[in-house]
Chain A
């Protein structure tokens, strides 16, 4: 019977057999599904004969294991790529463009928007006013604007956490 090759490598039946009479301890592995995971199918070649077989099999410990190697591979590659991207962005930020450009903000009125995901709003500056809606049609300049605003916010966060030790001592 040919099983689907889907996760053939990902199922394993393991028998751990202790030392018995003259035989030393041995581990038997086989990639078969749970239905066939029993002593006679897995322990090959059987080291004992005849009536000893049953006694030997009772001593052995059986473990059936399943995993998904595809999930593991995909997850690790995703994490490593995210980490790689973040590292590249970090290098870019620290070396190429360390300080945010305050000139984009005029006389640096801090901005508040209704739909903030929560990344906005630096530390308690009480003279907040509504956003001066800059209607820039250019997508690139919008992105740059958002990035500069984000950098200012991270700077404020950094000040409260690392410098003034106000939050998260």
Chain B
């Protein structure tokens, strides 16, 4: 009996935790497109359908940009408010944070620019005074209490509603974009929980950032919106193009850097990035940035809290300290990756992993208790970075800008180098302590069971180091103007050294050391500053830090986490340099039983079902006959199960002794045999094959470039074995002397 030509629902979809077949998805999309184009000549309705199909991609990008921008605005405003909730509350409207509460106040004085009567700290509310030791203790206690409350809420929400919402999300998104399926990872519950718990986690004062989780949030938006469009819902490869664009939109709203976002998506997150995706990602990133700008979370239409506005020039001799900062960034990056992976491995394997809620509470308590006394750790990390990036003007009142103004005239806005006052020295000590605290505590914070990013903590570490070095250089230049270096480049009374620039370069260096970003990092930083003056220092620091960090450890933090979790991610950047052949890697090995194959027209339904239940392979080659072992095609396990179930239910006469055939026409059979079952439409007639003497370098290249799941190995035209992606990964791990059993999943 001939099989119905309509596709059965379920055929062509994938199991959870499996890899997609890129070739099949791409060819299905091309078929669909061809069909629409051919039909469009028939009627106006079909023409409209084809035009709308072409535009659906752009409409989807617009929607993703709008949704990501709005969510980012929500996260920014809420996090900003909740962070200040630890310190007090605004009586002129509880929804204002400290800055906005005193925004309209007329009682702000020149000396005390932060205080206003509308903003009441907790000690003022509880014991009606702000002075004295008891008030300090009350404030301390409330700070720790709020921090613990926020952290507890965050981890409970994650545990109860969406366990996939924890962590940064970027390693998993990298794996998903390379073709892996993790169902639920980009779902609506994950989106809601990640947004809310991100706000709570950031507000609790922990040393984590929100940029990585924002990428996850944007990809969730992308995935959810894909379901409105048939073209993207049914095709996993097209969906991953959309996710790449969504990731770009995520970074764009995090840093206010659309171009940087696209480059980040290209460099760090995506696996295949066709040119069409480049243009569409840029569109999505722009729309997202524009939406965020109109929500205006920080006032003055800025997208990021730490936007830099100075344009003072830098001098050639300053390249030496910049390269020093690059070396520091590289060293710190390598150290952080090694210690963080060791700690995460401990969390995975020992008892520590059994108490996630207690772990979060303990780390929060330690962070809050150690953070409160030092004003630079008490403020949120974004504010700290903003203050460190700031170039001191004459009227800045922060401790870091407490210079002695020993000059007669002030021309324009240019301030010469000045000797440091008392405030600067005490700020230096406090910043040094902040540096140590942040370096240590971030190792334990990244990877906990709450949403946590590490862009902001790395930038903070780098900014502190940079600012310390910058102030040091500035004082050196002031007190030793007679040295030749300073003499030739710095004129007397000119603004020679800008410590804010050193902070920026330090931040870029540390971020580059940890993530090993190159181009995207420099572009993000230069979009943050709004000018091209500082490209050379940024590039110098980023390259130095990448070289130093690469010398100490091969992988960036995200690749290290991918390897820790055993995701089947085939690294696209590394060369495979060993001389093994395909027959060294293929299965079955020498002593294993023969390859499990199906024949093209001689197996019954019962035989196939036995094979399916006895083995766990995800697919079977189909051969002409067992004697000849000549290859016909490849069929997937999931498709077989679905088709046989469907046939048993819907087709009459199909029983266990029915013959299954994959050929075009039914094989000749004696009379009175039960009706046959044709399964040709689930057979892949063009499986990729290599010969057994093909070098593994070529095989690995084929897997990377085409995105294969499996590849068949032939010898003299006969089927010999099979190589799957998992085998390739295990082989690479073995060759690199890593543990090949650490590759999990299928």
Binding site for B on A (CB under 8 A): 9, 12, 16-18, 24-27, 29, 31, 59, 61, 65-69, 71-73, 75-79, 82-83, 86-87, 90, 93-94, 112, 114-124, 126-130, 150, 153-154, 157-158, 160-162, 165-169
Q: Which single member of A17, A66, A82, A122 contacts B196 (CB below 8 Å)?
A: A82
Cβ–Cβ < 8 Å partners of A83 in chain B:
153, 196, 200
Contacts of A162 in B (CB 8 A): 159, 163, 353, 356, 449
Q: Is the CB of A67 within 8 A of B196?
A: no
Interface residues of B in 153-184 (CB under 8 A from A): 153, 156-157, 159-164, 166-167, 172, 182-184
Interface size on B, residues (CB 8 A): 85
> What B residues does A166 contact at CB under 8 A?
565, 744
Which residues of chain B are within 8 angstroms of A168 by Cβ–Cβ distance?
163-164, 166-167, 172, 565
A5, chain B: closest CB distance, angstroms = 14
Contact A29 B106 (CB under 8 A): yes
Query: Is there contact, CB below 8 Å, between B637 and A126?
Result: yes
B104 CB contact (under 8 Å) in A31, A93, A122, A127 = A31
Q: Given A82-B196, A169-B447, do A130 and B642 touch, yes or no (CB 8 Å)?
A: yes
Residue of A nearest to B78 (CB): A79
Closest to A89 in B: B161
- Chain A residues whose CB sits within 8 angstroms of the CB of B41 once the complex forms: none
Question: In the bound complex, how far is the Cα of B744 from the Cα of A123, in angstroms?
Answer: 13
Cα–Cα, bound, A132→B159 (Å): 30
- A117 nearest CB across to chain B (Å): 6
Report which of A66, A71, A116, A157 forms a contact with B162, defined as CB distance below 8 A.
A157
Instruction: From the candidates B77, B299, B449, B745, name the one contacting A66 in the complex (CB within 8 A).
Output: B299
Contacts of A115 in B (CB 8 A): 227, 233
Instruction: Report how many A-B pairs have Cβ atoms within 8 Å.
Output: 188
Q: How far is the CB of B542 from chain A (nearest CB, A)?
A: 29
Where chain A touches its partner, the secondary structure class is: mixed
CB neighbours (8 Å) of A16 from chain B are 110, 395
5 contacting pairs across A/B (C-beta < 8 A): A9-B104, A82-B192, A123-B17, A130-B642, A165-B348
A27, B347: Cβ atoms under 8 Å?
no
Contact B16 A121 (CB under 8 A): yes
Q: Is the CB of A27 within 8 A of B104?
A: no
Residue of A nearest to B220 (CB): A118
Are B16 and A122 in contact, CB atoms less than 8 angstroms apart?
A: yes
Q: Smallest distance from the beta carbon of B216 to chain A beta carbons, Å? A: 11
A118 touches B347 (CB 8 A): no
A90 and B156 contacting across the interface, CB-CB below 8 Å:
yes
Once bound together, how far apart are the Cα atoms of A61 and B413, in whole Å? Answer: 10
Bound-state CA distance A19–B9 (Å) is 78
In the complex, the answer to whether B196 meets A90 with C-beta atoms within 8 Å is: no
| Minimum C-beta distance from A132 to chain B (A) | 11
CB distance from B113 to the nearest CB of A (A): 7
In the complex the two chains form, is B15's CB within 8 Å of A126's CB?
yes
State A168–B567 Cα separation when bound (angstroms): 10
Known: A75-B78, A123-B17, A162-B159. A61 touches B393 (CB 8 A): yes
Q: A26-B110, A114-B9 are in contact. Are A71 and B638 (CB under 8 A)?
A: no
Contact, CB under 8 Å: A27 / B394: no
Is the Cβ of B646 less than 8 Å from the Cβ of A169?
no
Contacts of B163 in A (CB 8 A): 154, 157-158, 160-162, 168
- Residues of chain B contacted by A112 (CB below 8 angstroms): 10, 13
Q: Do A118 and B13 touch across chains, with their CB atoms under 8 A apart?
A: no
Chain A residues positioned under 8 Å from B26 (CB to CB): none
Whether the pair B296, A118 counts as a contact (CB closer than 8 A) is no
User: B642 to A157, Cβ gap below 8 A?
Assistant: no
Tell whether B307 is near chain A: CB-to-CB under 8 Å.
Answer: no
Whether A169 pairs with B565 at a CB distance below 8 angstroms is yes
Q: Could you tell me if A124 and B15 are in contact, using CB atoms closer than 8 angstroms? A: yes
What per-residue 1/0 map shows which CB atoms of B363-396 lie under 8 Å from chain A? 0000000000000000000000000000001110
B274 CB contacts on chain A under 8 angstroms:
none
Note all chain B residues with C-beta closer than 8 A to A167: 164, 172, 182, 565
B319 CB, min distance to chain A CBs, angstroms: 32
Are A120 and B183 in contact, with the CB atoms below 8 A? yes
For A61, give the chain B residue with the smallest CB separation: B395
